[in-house]
Structure 1
Amino acid sequence: MKKRTIIITQEIDQAHATKINEILPDWDVFIGKDRSVWEPHVKNAEIIVGWKKGMEKECIHEDSSLRWVQSWSAGINSMPLQQFEENNIQLSSANGVHAYPISETIFALMLGLTRKIHTYVRNQEEKKWHHSNIKLEIHEKTIGIIGVGAIGKETAKIAKAFGMTVLGVRRSGMQEDYVDEMYTTEELATILPRCDYVVVTVPLTKDTRGLFGQKQFSLMKPTSFFINIGRGETVDEDDLIQALKEKQIAGAGLDVFTQEPLSEESPLWNMENVIITPHTSGSTEHYNKRVIEDIFIPNLKNYKQGNTPSINLVDFTKGY
């Protein structure tokens, strides 16, 4: 009888590999980042952990063995979602793995802009001793979190330590701990004039593409800061640049962009009121551990028992 196959396209530690082999003692298990380890087995894989571009040519067809994909990232917008749905292939994301590192980056950007740390770094390079007109505080300000998922929840929790008023926006409008007021996406315009900080954490879907443009920036306070750690395509980058140039908003902290790497020609690089990080807000020493221990292994145990993976199962109609 032909063995069932799982491939993991990442390097994981031996303890995790041993655990997976213990759960699937009768399976062929192929683990490694080098394509030569797993590529010959893609066409037979029932489970793939860590989807790679182009895999669909090998493993999505009428007689496909593929039944479940565990994404190695929280973002799934680049994956063949329609083909997964049409072929009844379940997909679970790595959503939640980034809650700590990204919420830390959000506050690093917010505090950096508020307390002019980026300005002082530039001054230090020039050996320039200058006050730089610092005056703002983050305490007791209002933060609008656009997308209250795992990252948004952790951001809200930290915000309360600063005594901030937390306004949240999510598709359902359902209330959440540490969020003072929750709104639906359709009510976004209602909260923007109230926010001192607007933090975008939404995934990229057909509904969130271009969510922020000229209209939204015009509603924000001229003293407010815009933080985007979600996906670059949720923002009209030209409109953001214009809003920064015209001082419709005070500044921006950006980890994601429409095109990455960000072009050297982009005006954003040279703007005094912008802090740029290269899509690294989710980087953490604990990434692999959290994907395997908190998401994949619990889901794998469910799958082996004939159940649907329950953690971070993607709803294809929503796109996340």
Structure 2
Amino acid sequence: MKNRKLVITHTLEQELLDQIKAVIPDWELVASKEKEVWQETVKDAEIIAGWKKGLDEYCLGSDSKLKWLQSWSAGVDSMPLEKLAARNIILTSANGVHAYPISETIFALMLGLTRKIHTYVKNQQSQVWHHANMKLEIHGKTIGIMGIGAIGSETAKIAKAFGMKVLGVRNSGKPAEFVDEMYTTDQLHHVLPQCDYVVVTLPHTKETHHLFGAEQFEQMKSSAFFINIGRGQIVVEDDLVQALQKGTIAGAGLDVFEKEPLGTESPLWKMGNVIITPHTAGSTEHYNKRVVENILVPNLKNYIDCGTPAINLVDYSKGY
């Protein structure tokens, strides 16, 4: 009988590999970011951890043995969800891994815009000593968090350290710790006018596609800052550009864009009221360790014992 196979499309430290191997000692384990290492094995893999572009040609054929796919990212919108669903392949995400680094990035962007750090960095490069009309502070302000998952919850927790009022938006409308008032997505028009900061942590789905456009920016305060670390496709980017150029909103901190990399022709690059990061909000020195120890290994144990993983099961009908 051939060994069952787990293919991980990332290169991991031996300590992490040992933890995985301890759960499946009789399995064949292949782990490498190099396609040449795993491409011959992946077609026979029962489990794949980490999706790579083009993998579908190897593991979604009629003779595929794939039963479970563990994403290495929280978002799964770039995966062939319809094909995976049609083959009844279990899909789990890495939701929760990013809560610390992304919440830190959110506040870096909020504080940077509020205290004009980006302006002072530019002034430093030009050796210009100028006040830049800096006057705002973040304490006591109102933050609206669109999406109260792991990232949104950690952001709400940190906001309380600044004495902020926290408004949350989630599909269920279910209350959450550190959130003063919870709303549903169809109540955005009630939330946005109250916010000094609007933070988007939502996944990209059919329901959230272009959720933010001209109408939503018009509902925001002219003094409000817009932070997007969710997905670029949630925003009508041209409408955001117009809102920033016209002063409909005060500024934006953006880690994600409709098309990535952001094109050099985009006006966003040269706007003084915008801070751009290259989709790096979730980057952290602890990324692989958290995926393996907090998600993959517990899911593997449950898969071996019960036939299905238990953490971060993706609902194909919802897209997350």
The TM tier, using the shorter chain, reads: over 0.9
TM, length-normalised to structure 2? 0.99
Preserved contact between residue 39 and residue 58 of structure 2 (Cα < 8 Å): no
1:317 counterpart = 2:317: yes
Question: What letter matches 2:269 in structure 1?
Answer: W
1:84 counterpart = 2:84: yes
Counterpart Cα distance in 2 of 1:290 and 1:21: 17
1:172 counterpart = 2:172: yes
1:187 counterpart = 2:187: yes
Counterpart Cα distance in 1 of 2:144 and 2:63: 48
Question: What letter matches 1:105 in structure 2?
Answer: T
Matches within 5 A, 1:150-229: 150-229=150-229
Counterpart Cα distance in 2 of 1:127 and 1:16: 47
Counterpart Cα distance in 2 of 1:137 and 1:24: 52
Counterpart Cα distance in 1 of 2:208 and 2:230: 10
Report how far residue 205 of structure 1 moved.
Answer: 0.4
Match of 1:151, SS state, is helix
Alignment correspondent of 1:242: 242
Report how far residue 154 of structure 1 moved.
Answer: 0.3
Report how far residue 298 of structure 1 moved.
Answer: 0.2
Counterpart Cα distance in 1 of 2:174 and 2:102: 22
Alignment correspondent of 1:73: 73
Match of 2:310, SS state, is coil
What percent of counterpart residues are identical? Answer: 65
Preserved contact between residue 146 and residue 202 of structure 2 (Cα < 8 Å): yes
Alignment correspondent of 1:54: 54
Structure 1: runs of 5+ lacking an equivalent: none
Report how far residue 174 of structure 1 moved.
Answer: 0.7
Report how far residue 162 of structure 1 moved.
Answer: 0.3
Report how far residue 166 of structure 1 moved.
Answer: 0.2
Counterpart Cα distance in 1 of 2:213 and 2:124: 35
| CA offset digits 1:176-226 (Å, max 9, x no partner) | 000000000111111100000000000100000101000000000000000
Q: Kindly report structure 1 stretches of 4+ aligned residues shifted beyond 3 Å.
A: none
Preserved contact between residue 5 and residue 29 of structure 2 (Cα < 8 Å): yes
Match of 2:77, SS state, is coil
Counterpart Cα distance in 1 of 2:262 and 2:36: 31
Alignment correspondent of 2:123: 123
| CA offset digits 1:219-271 (Å, max 9, x no partner) | 00000000000000000000000000110000000000111111111000111
Match of 1:91, SS state, is strand
Question: What letter matches 1:232 in structure 2?
Answer: G
Report how far residue 11 of structure 1 moved.
Answer: 0.9
Alignment correspondent of 1:98: 98
Question: Higher mean Cα deviation, 238-247 or 121-130?
Answer: 121-130
TM, length-normalised to structure 1? 0.99
Structure 2: runs of 5+ lacking an equivalent: none
Report how far residue 27 of structure 1 moved.
Answer: 1.1
Question: What letter matches 1:304 in structure 2?
Answer: I
Match of 2:189, SS state, is helix
1:278 counterpart = 2:278: yes
Counterpart Cα distance in 2 of 1:182 and 1:307: 36
1:252 counterpart = 2:252: yes
Question: Higher mean Cα deviation, 95-104 or 14-23?
Answer: 14-23
Counterpart Cα distance in 2 of 1:269 and 1:182: 34
